[in-house]
Amino acid sequence: MTSQEAIDKVSKLCRLRHMSLQTERSYCGWVRRFSFWVRVHGQPLPPTPAAKMEGFLSQLAQQGVAAATQNQAFNSLLFFYRESLGIDPGNVNALRARRPPHIRHAPTVDEVRSLLANLRDVGGYPTRLIVRLIYGCGLRVTEPLNIRLRDLDPDNRRIIIRGAKGGKDRAVTIPASLVDQISEQTEIASLHADIDRASGLPVALPGLLAKKNPRSGLSRGWAWLFPARSACQCPRTGATVRWRCHEANVQRCVRQAAEAAGLDGHVTPHNLRHAYATHAADRGASMRDIQEALGHSSLETTMVYLHPTPARIPSPLDLLTA
């Protein structure tokens, strides 16, 4: 099997399983790197999948790449062998770094307030609204961008976040302060959808929906809440479609606001998700409710936001010298 055949096989399987485009690109990228490494450095190794994986992952560790990067490579190659080729590589004893536990950084309430005050729309998109949604609902950076008009439930003040991490759906509450802005953006998005329908320009659709029901791409329900300003080619089908606002605009918006607020390098969109959870927990919100809002499978994952406070412990030295 050639390198390109292996990549094509992984790509097709990712699409068959409705995996995200980001995951597909990541897996294919690692298979490409792995194939090149095997051609150049794999000759002295035993011709077994485990030996090849061990050699490749060990050289990544020796290069000093982050533990998360090594784990991403490991999972990609495991998917390639197990799922794509139907081969169990067995026990892989590679030199791999463990991902050390870190305290998740969450901006303080005052830092978030300063950041929000310095937000400016970027690229002609309502990035101020998007960033407020990220903090106000505890969203990942792509989650507000993937909202379709059919996902809005204004009567119950809810948004359905569909196909999030792990392919899970969940509902989040629209902050009361954003109801009017969401309503206004809905009208703008509906107008865009009407114009696109009149010109025959469909929106990008998930999975094989475009083949099963081609007219869905022209329906208002499937239109993006935050549509892209211009049409583009779908990376999977090559068809000309309307995509949604790219996350780079949101990241740039937060970066510029952080610089203006004196928080440069201190706040990212994902930090605002951490801030949502931390600030909600500090105000006494139920950890079970926070878990549901964040879309965590395990309550243990959510509990990291319930920060212990060593400052509450009186020092034994102070007690002795009192």
Q: How sure is the predictor about 33, in pLDDT bands with cuts at 50, 70 and 90? A: very high
Q: Single out the catalytic residue among 165, 220, 255, 266.
A: 165
Q: Which token pair is 241?
A: 């479609």
48: confidence class by pLDDT, cuts 50, 70, 90: confident
Give pLDDT, residue 284.
86
In the chain, where are the structural domains located? 3-84, 109-304
User: What's the token pair of residue 248?
Assistant: 């780079």
Tell me the pTM.
0.78
Which CATH number describes the domain made up of 109-304? Answer: 1.10.443.10
Pairing of strands 227-233, 240-244: antiparallel
Residue 60 has pLDDT above 70, yes or no: yes
Identity (one letter) of the amino acid at 135?
Y
Active site residue 296: yes
What per-residue confidence (pLDDT) applies to 262?
A: 93
With a pLDDT cut of 70, the percent of the chain lying above it is 91
Q: Which is catalytic among the residues 273, 274, 276, 279?
A: 273
Nearest to 136 by CA among 120, 104, 108, 112: 112
Burial class (CB in 10 A: 0-12, 13-18, 19+), 79: buried
Tokens 């699409």 correspond to what residue?
A: 15
Q: CB under 8 Å, gap of 24 or more: what pairs does 298-306 form?
A: 302/277, 304/104, 305/104, 305/106, 305/274, 305/277, 305/278, 305/281, 306/281
| Residue 71, helix vs strand vs coil | helix
**Is residue 161 pLDDT above 80, yes or no?**
yes
- The tens digit of pLDDT for each residue in 105-157 reads 789 999 999 999 999 999 999 999 999 999 999 999 999 999 999 999 999 99
Q: Find residue 240's DSSP bridge partners.
A: 233
Rounded to whole angstroms, the Cα distance separating 100 from 279 reads: 24
Give me 257's structure tokens.
Answer: 């606001």
What is d(CA 24, CA 95) in angstroms, rounded to the nearest whole number? 25
Whether 132 is a known active-site residue: answer no
Q: Is 288 a catalytic residue?
A: no
Catalytic residue (one of 132, 140, 148, 242): 140
Residue-averaged pLDDT of the chain: 87
Residue 96: its pLDDT value, please?
Answer: 60
pLDDT of 169 strictly over 60? yes
Residue type, 234: C
- C-beta separation of 70 from 57 below 8 A: yes
By the 8 A CB rule, do 292 and 161 touch? no
The mean pLDDT of 214-230, rounded to a whole number, is 92
Region class of 102: left (phi > 0), else alpha (psi between -120 and 50), else beta: beta
- Domain 3-84 and domain 109-304 have a common topology: no
Q: Is 105 one of the annotated active-site residues of the chain?
A: no
Domain 3-84 belongs to what topology? DNA polymerase; domain 1 (1.10.150)
pLDDT at 175: 95
Contacts for 58 with CB less than 8 Å, ≥ 6 apart:
94, 95, 96
The pLDDT of residue 104 is: 67
